[in-house]
Amino acid sequence: MSNNKKNSISSGFYKEPVPHITPDSPFASMMERFRFAAEILELNEGVFKYLSSPEKVIMVSIPVTMDNGDIEVFEGYRVIHNSILGPSKGGIRYSDDVTIDEVKALAAWMTWKCAVVNVPFGGAKGGVRVNPKELSQNELERLTRRYTSNMLDVFGPDRDIPAPDMNTNEQVMAWIMDTYSMNQKKTETAVVTGKPIILGGSKGRKEATGRGVVTCTLAALSKLRISPSKTSVVVQGFGNVGSVSAQLMYEQGAKIIAISDISGGYYNKDGINIPAATQYSLTNGFSLEGFDGAEKISNRELLELECDVLIPAAKEDQINKDNAPNIKAKIISEGANGPVTANADKILEEKGIMIVPDILANAGGVTVSYFEWVQDRHGYFWTEERVNRRLNRLMRESFDNLFMVSEKYSITLRQAAYVYAIDRVATTLKLRGIYA
Ligand SMILES: NC(=O)C1=CN([C@@H]2O[C@H](COP(=O)(O)OP(=O)(O)OC[C@H]3O[C@@H](n4cnc5c(N)ncnc54)[C@H](O)[C@@H]3O)[C@@H](O)[C@H]2O)C=CC1
Ligand SMILES: O=C(O)CCC(=O)C(=O)O
């Protein structure tokens, strides 16, 4: 790594636009940060081009017989960004607004994320354009099994290993595992992670992403010398990542002043009772709608609240150039993938806000997915205490490592994460003889 480059991209081929990028999209945000790191690393031009495009993009059409006998056709994707570090790994999301561009960005983020925490996986992501809330459980099962059948040549414990993401869960992973196994004529637990524990899932996987977010948040707080018990926290998104992050920060003695989900934001300046909110959401169809332990606000207002820590744990592009000037948090811990756009980074940096980037902050999920894959392959399962201890240690080491890189090169933690990850991928490419 050259030591004399600072925070600006000077010139050269990295400025060349890469074709097929929609401006201001998640993929454009990913590329802007990749370009910055490539410049610092003086990355080989061919390697830059190679890593700017996914290795493989699969788009499938999924016909599903609905409960009323009609046939509906859904579109599904799987993007493998890169598999040089190992089999590709990444979640599958069900969402009616998922796009191929978004999945391409998410797949690339998986490559960088696995490199940041040194797990031996490449990056992939999947998506199906569907609103799962509009499907019955049987329709959802048929959709999942058909999507998996279309991906039989793609998935595999040594090739590409899915996991849960937005609107997918342990049950969806169980259907994928079963469909794949039936076609292999043997039970193949290691083909997916995030499965139910009884089917070979790992203890601690469900909570792992939120747990990792909290480990990084505590590390960031200690850098700013703020005690967790004196911390006010705002969490956007109350699904797997958001609710666990809120719960674990609450257990640290922090005051969670606002939470939100798709139904809106909920604010209480004296602190929200998180176990009560979680219980409410569980018994209310995973929705906070009607939760009366707080005042209702909008998601936009929520992001702009005065607080020590903001944890965006919903989706991409939530903090952008329009609202970045109004963000008042001291630390943003990115539970979601891509919640801050590249053009908001500079604004937040100038405001002195510390960002713990997604490819570090939410890497706890893929880390315990790796533990799950290892356990499946050994046929030997760990205690929850062992999983959590190893997760916490790895997350803390990764945070400290990136903090050191950021200080060494006078760059932000996000820039440090990209520099570290891309250097690792490029070094692997070189050692494998892909370039001299
Ligand atoms: N589940 C996992 O292990 C991992 C998830 N992530 C990322 O974390 C984010 C959340 O994922 P999960 O918690 O798994 O999904 P989830 O489906 O369990 O929860 C998503 C939550 O966000 C809320 N939401 C959706 N749109 C919203 C909006 N516009 N404003 C406010 N809230 C909104 C939903 O109502 C729900 O509460 C995604 O970006 C995902 O890619 C990252 C790493 C691992
Ligand atoms: O657990 C995994 O394998 C991947 C989780 C994921 O999709 C993510 O980190 O964004």
281 within some domain: yes
- Ligand with the closest atom to the CA of 358: 1
Contact in structure between 247 and 274 (CB atoms under 8 Å): yes
Q: Which atom of ligand 2 is nearest to the CA of 89?
A: 3
Within this chain, do residues 142 and 242 fall inside the same structural domain, yes or no? Answer: no
Dihedrals phi, psi of 113, to nearest 5 degrees: -60, -45
Residue 149's domain spans which residues?
A: 54-188
Domain C-terminal end among 188, 218, 247: 188
Q: Is 125 known to be catalytic? A: yes
Within this chain, do residues 216 and 351 fall inside the same structural domain, yes or no? Answer: yes
Q: Any residues with CB less than 8 A from the CB of 127 and at least 6 apart, and which?
A: 76, 77, 92, 93, 94, 95, 98, 102, 103, 106
CATH of the domain at 91: 3.40.50.10860
257 within some domain: yes
Q: Is 240 annotated as a binding residue?
A: yes
Q: Is 89 annotated as a binding residue?
A: yes
Provide the Cα torsion 193, 197, 203, 209; round to 10°: 40
Within this chain, do residues 180 and 228 fall inside the same structural domain, yes or no? Answer: no
pLDDT digits (tens, 9 = 90+) for 269-300: 999 999 999 999 999 999 999 999 899 999 99
Whether the pLDDT of residue 385 is over 90: the answer is: yes
> Is ipTM beyond 0.95?
yes
Q: Which atom of ligand 1 is nearest to the CA of 194?
A: 3
pLDDT digits (tens, 9 = 90+) for 237-246: 999 999 999 9
Q: Is 209 annotated as a binding residue?
A: yes
Choose the catalytic residue: 104, 125, 203, 255.
125
**Distance, CA of 263 to CA of 260 (rounded, Å):** 7
Within this chain, do residues 210 and 300 fall inside the same structural domain, yes or no? Answer: yes
Instruction: Please give the tally of structural domains in the chain.
Output: 2
Span 169-173, average pLDDT: 98
